[in-house]
Amino acid sequence: MSTTETFPVQRTDEEWRAILSPEAYRVLRRHGTERAGTSPLDREKRPGTFVCAGCGTPVFTSETKFDSGTGWPSFFRPIEGAVATREDRSFFMRRTEVHCASCGGHLGHVFPDGPPPTGLRYCMNGVAMSFTPKGE
């Protein structure tokens, strides 16, 4: 995360560690990646909303989720204004990182190989999100 970026939700590193599980902290605050196939959110099929595990901001709806076969929850469109992107040059690659627009937490990456209507695949770390079923 760039030291010049600021977000509406601000916490100290100690505060993030206190509210997040060790795995969620590693992914959201240190740009880690969970192992493919480990998130129950990849198999979540109920209507509802996927929210940032760091700050609770709604980031994706179940209507935009699809099975990409990658082992990570995938979506073709985020909720408008909920996420932002930046170039990621780690691991000798150029990718587009997706982060929560409210807290800056790393959610995953977006790729140009998704289904219509956007052609995009937002490949998200399940540990970086939680799910709220419709009506709750």
**9 Ramachandran zone, left/alpha/beta (phi>0; psi -120 to 50):** beta
Q: What digits encode the pLDDT tens for the residues 83-107?
A: 999 876 666 667 799 999 999 999 9
In a domain, residue 67? The reply is yes
> Domains in the chain: how many in total?
1
pLDDT given for residue 5 in this prediction: 76
Give me the active site residues, please.
Answer: 123
- Distance between CA atoms of 31 and 69, rounded to whole angstroms? 22
pLDDT given for residue 73 in this prediction: 98
pLDDT given for residue 90 in this prediction: 66
- Distance between CA atoms of 113 and 126, rounded to whole angstroms? 20
Taking the CA atoms of residue 90, residue 93, residue 98 and residue 101 in that order, the dihedral angle to the nearest 10 degrees is 50
Mean pLDDT of successive 10-residue stretches along the chain, which has 136 residues: 74 96 96 94 97 98 97 98 84 82 96 96 97 93
pLDDT given for residue 2 in this prediction: 46
Burial 25-58 (b: 16+ CB within 10 A, else e): bbbbbeeebbeeeebebbebeeebbbbbbbbebb
In a domain, residue 76? The reply is yes
pLDDT given for residue 118 in this prediction: 97
Is the Cα torsion angle 82, 50, 78, 123 positive or negative in sign? positive
In a domain, residue 55? The reply is yes
What is the distance, to the nearest Å, from the Cα of residue 68 to the centroid of all Cα atoms in its chain? Answer: 15
In a domain, residue 35? The reply is yes
In a domain, residue 4? The reply is no
pTM of the model: 0.91
In a domain, residue 5? The reply is no
In a domain, residue 53? The reply is yes
Q: What digits encode the pLDDT tens for the residues 51-62?
A: 999 999 999 999
State which residues form the domain around 82.
Answer: 13-133
pLDDT given for residue 38 in this prediction: 95
pLDDT given for residue 136 in this prediction: 82
pLDDT given for residue 70 in this prediction: 95
* Cβ-based neighbour number of residue 83 at 10 Å: 24
Q: What CA–CA distances, in Å, run from 19 to 47, 52, 56?
A: 26, 13, 12
Domain of 99: which CATH number? 2.170.150.20
